[in-house]
Chains A and B, each alone.
Chain A
């Protein structure tokens, strides 16, 4: 069970003067149950890439497989695919439309043709999973704060019980506290339900603490596809792409250059703390 990209190309506005390639020869394999970070500068093709995963965009060349089936085959059931590969877009404002949050979350499962009882059960579960307080269930989604709107949007996709969940910049426009809350929520979801999560972001800081694997996109190509530690070793290349390694990595590098015996592969705050304490001989 996995998503496979086989030599996928995508060109925007083909046959016009504005034509430009958004994806160039992308080959990827995304196995089940992983927590993956997809990183790239604005315009690197990451949003285009994720829209291929649930069949919203058809590749100009190459094939996308989900569970060994070509998702763009004429007979393939796209609605079913979209229930199994959930995609939460960047702006919750683009999908919230109902008079209250509960009804809005019901929209997804209702489209799957489930009986009303199941629909409501799923919506309730999903809203509980994203940690929305009961008081907000029957409020208009337009009256909520940015972070709460995002939770409702995530619940709206979660209620379809996807096997893979893709989140496009779920932290954009949130304050530091809201950011951490959402990221912790996603991480918890991954741990509890074991679904595959693809977290799209342009900030290394966001993903470094959580993900098992990082895919870096640059100008429509996959630049790196490895574990965080491995990716962060290429600091200079990352900077050339307009990205940066987490601040911890820079800090550790400078300590190492100053003569401390620390492991520069430490990517999270916790690891860094332990390394520094070790180097100082305190533990």
Chain B
């Protein structure tokens, strides 16, 4: 699903150049649930941004579902993001003046899906994350866990190839974190490919594979026995 070869990325800060990613080689198969771990400054967020086409790579190749991601203009990048990727953020990033259902329907709007179908689909995914009754509530009326579940529903609404989660449990207490992880595992069970950036070992243990980043290189890449989050819920 994802092939990355010899990826380099550096940021220019005035005269200094900060080499963040120093040659990453990394493949993800369909249906995997991968945790990208590392301390802050290890380059994990940069890697995720490049995977999410929010940032451009300097060197190397990135192929997503057989499509080379290279030299995209903003319109094309937006189109690819919409079609290939679903984002889950640490701070949820819901649009606060839109209801839960409208938030979920947003990616479909950019796909020019008809209004009625959009609403139906949004409701379907909200039901899947257990928030059907909250469809017409604004994000400010939801708890943190609920917000993240809306965000997950939104990420899934466009039926992307890969879900990218940046510290999805970073702003949640541990009980809620496990609920969210339970949901993510269930989605993964349906065959969706998911990448999670996290620095919490217990969250990483709930994935099927852990990629350890340090100072811009992968120091460890191992498959693990998944811990089911449902045990803690």
**Chains A and B are bound partners:** no
